[in-house]
Amino acid sequence: MRTRRLLSAAFILVAALAANLGLSSAAHAASDPKTLHIGYIRYDSAGKDTGSNASRNDEWITVHNNYSTALTLTGYKIKDKAGHTFTFPTYRLPAKKTVTIHTGKGTASTYHLYWNSGSYIWNNTSDTAYLVKPTGGNKDTCSYPTSDDGPGIGCHSR
């Protein structure tokens, strides 16, 4: 009888720990960082949030291609919890490279794209970023809570 109670208690403890670990991991990264994934979100631009284009462009998100071949990202989307959406234009990301999507306006280059938003996208307190496939399914997610201290978060560093 005592053994049965101990096993039951151990099972409950293991289940609770597994559920807690699962929730923690899912909040930060949903996919394997060895593939195409969100790398970093800089959600709080340096200094005061003045609303200027320079300030908005200091808020950004990166997408990293960790494959050994280039990937076409045309039609992929970046979304936040509020539904703000950036759609990748005709774009090819080389193997093992990262593209930065800045919130404000600018001229696109090989490794820098622009949301062209007139307002900030990423909340300074908490938000979730989604990398959405052209077919509509989520490729990756990254969330940050209010308890994070700093201007950004590495999405696969936890």
149: Cα separation from own chain's centroid: 17
* Token output for 114: 């622009």
Nearest residue to 73 (alpha-carbon basis) of 29, 139, 157: 139
In this predicted structure, the answer to whether residue 6 has a pLDDT above a threshold of 50 is no
Is residue 23, in this structure, part of any structural domain at all?
Answer: no
CA–CA distance, 128 with 123 (Å, rounded to integer): 9
Contact 72, 92 (CB under 8 A): yes
Contact 51, 119 (CB under 8 A): yes
> What CATH number is attached to the domain comprising 138?
2.60.40.1260
Is residue 99, in this structure, part of any structural domain at all?
Answer: yes
CA–CA distance, 76 with 122 (Å, rounded to integer): 18
Tally of structural domains, the chain: 1
Q: State pTM to two decimals.
A: 0.78
pLDDT tens-place string over residues 20-57: 333 333 334 445 556 899 999 999 999 889 999 999 99
CA–CA distance, 83 with 129 (Å, rounded to integer): 10
CA–CA distance, 22 with 122 (Å, rounded to integer): 25
Per-residue pLDDT, 112? 98
Is residue 142, in this structure, part of any structural domain at all?
Answer: yes
148: domain range?
29-154
